[in-house]
Structure 1
């Protein structure tokens, strides 16, 4: 009989209105240079295997861009650090959505991780989105 992990991953989702066009925002959610301006202290891309390295608090976290659609979304899957991660990898997805009724652009964040403090995660993403708004002027 399989044993259940105590650190089951959870999905956090939130929508944030950003006063900028989708075409302007897309490079900030999909490119290493764009992500480095608001999402992490630094982001580098390895040209050989196309992996991204995100730097936070002097720690590096490697991820692959597992999916993207130009001017719509980008999804980054973190490379496994142990066997459990390889079976159920953490990821985050940044999706740009346009509301026809309000003519507003929203950034939908999906964060699938073993981070269990919902309030802290909400505060973290709120701060990141504020940094993005300041960067793009929106």
Structure 2
């Protein structure tokens, strides 16, 4: 089994960090764009798609800045993260997505994130 690699994607977004953070860190916000159904209990999100449920534990978070999650079935050193940055040059809000994938699957996984984030931006009107 080959080791997964960390990759990072950046998406400029026309939205305040506070509003964006709500869509990245709450069950109601995540259910708008990330999964069909989202529940949160005891620091663990349950994401459901087409009857399949996956759980992710919140590893770390800072309001309006980032949330890092760990799929409970994945190796301990793997995570996915949503980070909100402000460009010093343009003062634009940037969503940074970090995730792990097999090296040969990074392109496909990146396209999946791009599709998901496009749906997020549609929901927030960006």
> Which structure 1 segments of 5+ residues have no match?
1-5
Bigger Cα displacement from structure 2, 68-77 vs 117-126 = 117-126
State the match for 1:11 in structure 2: 6
Shift of 1:45: 1.0
1:42-121 paired onto structure 2 within 5 Å: 42-46=37-41, 49-80=42-73, 85-86=74-75, 88-114=76-102, 116-121=104-109
Q: Secondary structure at the match of 2:33?
A: coil
Q: Which deviations, in whole Å up to 9, do the C-alpha atoms of 1:100-122 show, x marking residues without a partner?
A: 21121100000124474122111
Which has more radius of gyration? 1
> Which structure 2 segments of 5+ residues have no match?
none
Q: Give the direction of change, closer, same or farther, for the CA distance of 1:63–1:20 in structure 2 (3 Å limit).
A: same
Mapped partners of 2:99, 2:114: distance in 1: 13
State the match for 1:3 in structure 2: none
Q: Which deviations, in whole Å up to 9, do the C-alpha atoms of 1:74-101 show, x marking residues without a partner?
A: 0111113xxxx45x35321000000121
Q: TM-score, normalised by structure 1?
A: 0.83
Aligned residues: 126
Q: Give the direction of change, closer, same or farther, for the CA distance of 1:62–1:89 in structure 2 (3 Å limit).
A: farther
Shift of 1:7: 3.4
What is the CA RMSD across the aligned residues, in angstroms? 1.6
Q: Give the direction of change, closer, same or farther, for the CA distance of 1:117–1:59 in structure 2 (3 Å limit).
A: same
Q: TM-score, normalised by structure 2?
A: 0.91
